[in-house]
């Protein structure tokens, strides 16, 4: 497995709160689906949902960093 669904859920909530809200919502949903599938014993589905949550988290974090860098560059150029 790629990690714990609970750990991914925590990261997803942080992405939701601090980074990119739309992608954070998607990631929270897939993390919750992974937790549900894991608790019911469907480890293949849990792995698939967890992979999707990881991918969305990674995209959101990278996008957030890029947007912050663009903002800082534009702010610096306007001074």
53, 41 Cβ separation under 8 angstroms: no
Whether the pTM exceeds 0.75: the reply is yes
Q: How far from chain centre, in Å, is Cα 63?
A: 11
- Are 28 and 12 spatial neighbours (Cβ–Cβ below 8 Å)? yes
Query: Which residues lie below 8 Å from residue 24, measured CB to CB, with a gap of 6+?
Result: 12, 13, 15, 16, 17, 60
Q: Could you read off the pLDDT of 10-26 as tens digits, one per residue?
A: 999 999 998 889 999 99
Domain span holding position 59: 5-78
CA pair distance 8, 24, nearest whole angstrom? 11
What is the number of structural domains in the chain? 1
79 pLDDT higher than 70 = no
């Amino acid at each position: 497995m790629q990690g714990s669904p609970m750990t991914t859920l925590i990261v997803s909530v942080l992405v939701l709160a601090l980074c990119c809200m739309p992608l954070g919502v998607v990631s929270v949903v897939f993390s919750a689906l992974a937790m549900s599938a894991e608790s019911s014993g469907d480890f293949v589905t849990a792995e698939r949902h967890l992979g999707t949550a990881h991918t969305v988290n990674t995209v959101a974090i990278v996008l957030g960093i890029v947007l912050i860098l663009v903002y800082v560059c534009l702010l610096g150029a306007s001074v």
